[in-house]
Amino acid sequence: MSFALDERLAADALIVGDMTLTRVLLMNDARWPWLILAPRRDGVVELTDLDAADRTQLIEEAASAAGFLKAHTGAHKINIGTLGNVVRQFHLHVVARTVGDPGWPGPVWGFGAAVPRDKGETRTLVEAARAGLGID
């Protein structure tokens, strides 16, 4: 099976690289350090569409992404969630939150308009994520 990333995810985020199961993306929103994990499996809409081994791998990759964000940003809380109401393709959000961030303590979804990242900040964060997640 081939893998194609949803067009909206591709438009809203930058590719960091691939882990064993997921394509790792950096959301292009400077308000929050925000990674998205999209399993590289066609036709996956729900978590339950992944087999047991892939679900286990997803949790491990989410834990790695969360650990990286926590260490890299000093976040007070890591939010991990999936909605899929706008983008049908299954993907998992991993968002670093800090007390006093623009949406604290509410959710990041639907809070104002995204603020595009500065190119230098983007490059630095993508390189740090690649190193921190062991992505070549």
pLDDT in tens, 31-59: 999 999 999 999 999 999 999 999 999 99
Which amino acid is it at 43?
Answer: G
Residue 27 host element (H or E):
strand 22-27
What pLDDT, on a 0 to 100 scale, did the predictor assign at position 2?
A: 81
80-122 pLDDT tens trace: 999 999 999 999 999 999 999 999 999 999 899 999 999 999 9
Which of helix, strand or coil describes residue 133? helix
Between 109 and 78, the more confident residue is: 78
Q: How far is CA 133 from the centre of its chain?
A: 12
Tokens 């890299």 map to which residue? 72
The answer to whether residue 19 scores a pLDDT higher than 80 is yes
DSSP 75: -
Rounded to two decimals, the pTM is 0.96
